[in-house]
Amino acid sequence: MVRCLLSRSGRRDGLSQRSCRGWPHLFTGDNLAYNNKPDRIKTTGYYDVVNFARMVNVPGYYSWGFNDETCPPTSMYAAYNVIPGPKMLELYLETGHWTFPEQTEKMTTWLLGQLKGGK
């Protein structure tokens, strides 16, 4: 069975209110009152895609934009670098938090190849 994982890491740095300014905005605006509780703060210490990336053992095709301000490349590389499964990376220097049509086409082609038994 082939599994496809598409994930973007929004946070990679600790759990202080000062450092959690990016997505998913756990400690800003209306979310502050709801999330500023000991049990929820404790959860943010491990609820990061890099912790789950360590369990990915299936082949993966990964691609992201070098100018993504929502999911910065540093966060994406942190997750990508700990994935133990077979992987390939296609980095797009011009994109942000979006994809070019040819980027989507390459991902689709790779996935269809995997579904047909490719390596």
pLDDT digits (tens, 9 = 90+) for 68-117: 888 888 888 989 999 999 999 999 999 999 899 999 999 999 999 988 98
Assess if residue 28 is contained within a domain. yes
Domain limits at 82? 58-115
**pTM score, whole prediction:** 0.68
User: Are the CB atoms for 79 and 49 separated by under 8 Å?
Assistant: yes
72 plus 108 within the same structural domain:
yes
Number of independent structural domains in the chain:
2
Assess if residue 66 is contained within a domain. yes
User: Are the CB atoms for 73 and 10 separated by under 8 Å?
Assistant: no
Assess if residue 53 is contained within a domain. no
**Any idea what DSSP says for residue 2?**
-
User: Higher pLDDT residue, 23 or 56?
Assistant: 56
20 plus 62 within the same structural domain:
no
Nearest to 91 by CA among 80, 83, 57, 82: 80
Assess if residue 8 is contained within a domain. no
Assess if residue 81 is contained within a domain. yes
